[in-house]
Copies of this chain bind each other. A is one copy, B any other.
């Protein structure tokens, strides 16, 4: 397949948008290889993801954004994002001490499953340095205390900027991210929370699930916002438990959930199939 353009957009729903956009791509000789659209009929918003091959497309790659801005964005009060399949997003992983999510992502990365670059891993602890080294990825340690948190995050952000990081994955990173970093990466920090949100927000969700006596536990990947564990949910999954399971059992069963749910979210993000809107996500399929 040749290079493709991937356009994600939303705007107030009006008759004709879909026809006009597809028409525009078609008459300019773009071969549409993917289209998924959805209308929120309660809020009356039109969402679309459309992808087309650039090989014979008459508009030069570097001018596509301008054309869309001019021809559609104003007219339809449209927000849009444009990506190209030959540009790999650059992803940073933040970890603390647990390795299961990190291993799962690095295995996919190493096997070439993900169209992404991972230039660095950041941690507040040295424990997972050997894992990073096995995969040949630079590992940066920023120990965090109450006192140094602000300046350490400042240093992290400089490092992220230097490496042109596009999005961050918190792979069981046991620190709350401060507002400043969240604002620099809006809907671009993916977290995995080890519960079926909104149940069991905050610390020790498996112990809370055990105490409540639930029969099913879950994991939730979401974009980080300034409110703890309350950002737009990307993906969730669950597993059945019984009264025989101790908190330790829940932690162990949960690990598989966490890594799969996180990796599914990261994959969707890499493929540009997520559109966050009003603290919820539209997941194109």
Cα A279 to Cα B242 in complex, Å, equals: 14
| Contact-residue bracket for chain A | 35 or more
Is A212 a contact partner of B198 (Cβ separation < 8 A)? yes
Binary per-residue interface labels of chain A (111-153) against chain B in the complex, 1 for a CB within 8 Å, 0 otherwise: 1010000000000000000010011000000000000000000
Is A233 a contact partner of B215 (Cβ separation < 8 A)? yes
Cα A234 to Cα B242 in complex, Å, equals: 10
Query: Quick check: which of A27-35, A69-77, A168-176, A183-191 contacts chain B, the rest being far away?
Result: A27-35
Chain A at the B interface: mostly helix, strand, loop or mixed? mixed
A204-247: which have CB < 8 Å to B?
A: 212-216, 218, 232-238, 240, 242-244, 246
Is B242 a contact partner of A214 (Cβ separation < 8 A)? no
Interface residue ranges, A against B (CB under 8 Å): 15-16, 18-19, 22-23, 26, 31-33, 35, 37-39, 41-42, 99-100, 103-104, 107-108, 110-111, 113, 131, 134-135, 196-200, 212-216, 218, 232-238, 240, 242-244, 246, 252, 256, 260, 263, 279-283, 285
